[in-house]
Amino acid sequence: MPKVKLKVKKKASRLHPWEELKVLRQITTIISSGMDLERILKQIVEIVIEVTKADACLLYLLDERSEELILRASKDPHPNTLGKIRMKLGEGITGWVAKENKPVAIFKHASDDPRFKFFHNLPEDRHQAFLSVPIVHKTKTIGVINVHHKRPHQYTGNTTRLISTIACQAGGAIENARLYDEARRKAFQINNLSRISKTIISDRYLEEILNLIVTVTAKMMGSNTSREHKFTDEETRILQTIANQAAIAIENTKLTEETSTLKETLEVRKLVERAKGILMKEAHLSEDEAYRLIHKKSMDTCKPMRQIAEAIIITWEMKKK
């Protein structure tokens, strides 16, 4: 009689307490570090992969302005998808986890779940097992960590709790990095506003000033992307400040041009008056006749009256010598 082999479900591996402690210490180190946000996200993904032995890990952060979850980090770099894969709160399993603030563990056929949203450019979406855990900071969901296994994989309660703990601890590191980025961004904005202010009071031409304002504003606001963007109150205030400065630049230039025109007019008038005086004395002409002569000469030669007046003055001065 042939032997019958019994299929025994393989239990998911469980970390020893000292291993869990090591992981938590790693997270603590990240929280207290001064690294930038992108490096923090990358290290969180690496830790999750080490703990779960997963084939893939994707990390999404919540953009509160658009209420979208944006793919920000993954085990394998996705240059064409990072920052571009987006889901609304409640959309897909990831969106559901963020909205409900609850983890979801699926043993196999994850794509069969009615909440699942498939992205053709994410190979991880074809994997069998799926664990999704919210990233929480002060009871508020700020992102989601997704763990993927290519084959069916049983996620134990211990694994889910550990990843949830990592996500909760990581939430503090992420928020600290965000605050740092925000402070750096504001410093960048202040620097550019100062640059615009200095440009306005410079002696540059209006076209050059306005071109610089447009260039600096576009760089400061990051407006070189083609996707929809919902402007925050702060961004609106910044744009209003820049618009006010642009208005000042325009008004200053107008005043400068008007002053320059007035100055030019006065100088021409002085030269014409002097030329008239010379003609009145040398040619014995009346004031009206002298003016008409200068004006006629200007019309006949298609030269400005200033140039005619200067020629009369120069000729007279040469005669005197």
pLDDT at site 319:
84
Name the DSSP letter for residue 201: T
pLDDT at site 96:
93
pLDDT at site 222:
67
Domains detected in the chain: 17-178 (3.30.450.40), 201-321 (1.10.10.10)
pLDDT at site 65:
79
Q: Is 59 exposed, middle or buried (0-12, 13-18, 19+ CB in 10 A)?
A: buried
The amino acid that residue 71 corresponds to is: L
Query: For strand 86-88 and strand 68-74, is the pairing parallel, antiparallel, or unpaired?
Result: antiparallel
Contact 68, 86 (CB under 8 A): yes
- Whole-structure pTM over 0.75, yes or no? no
Contact 189, 238 (CB under 8 A): yes
User: How crowded is residue 314: how many other Cβ atoms within 10 Å of its Cβ?
Assistant: 10
Element (H, E) at 70: strand 68-74
β-sheet bridge partners, residue 137: 140
pLDDT at site 226:
62
Q: Is 7 exposed, middle or buried (0-12, 13-18, 19+ CB in 10 A)?
A: exposed
Q: Rounded CA gap, 168 and 41, in Å?
A: 13
Q: Which two tokens stand for residue 172?
A: 């503090």
From first to last of its 321 residues, what are the pLDDT tens digits of the chain? 444 343 434 444 455 566 667 767 777 776 666 667 888 888 889 888 888 888 889 999 998 878 899 999 888 766 677 777 888 998 989 999 999 999 999 888 888 888 888 777 777 777 888 999 999 888 889 999 999 998 998 888 888 888 888 888 888 778 877 777 777 777 777 777 777 766 666 666 667 777 777 777 777 766 667 666 677 777 778 778 777 777 777 777 777 777 778 888 888 889 999 999 999 988 888 999 988 999 898 898 898 888 999 999 998 888 877
pLDDT at site 1:
40
Number of helical (H) and strand (E) elements in the chain, helices listed first: 8, 6
Contact 68, 87 (CB under 8 A): yes
pLDDT at site 79:
63
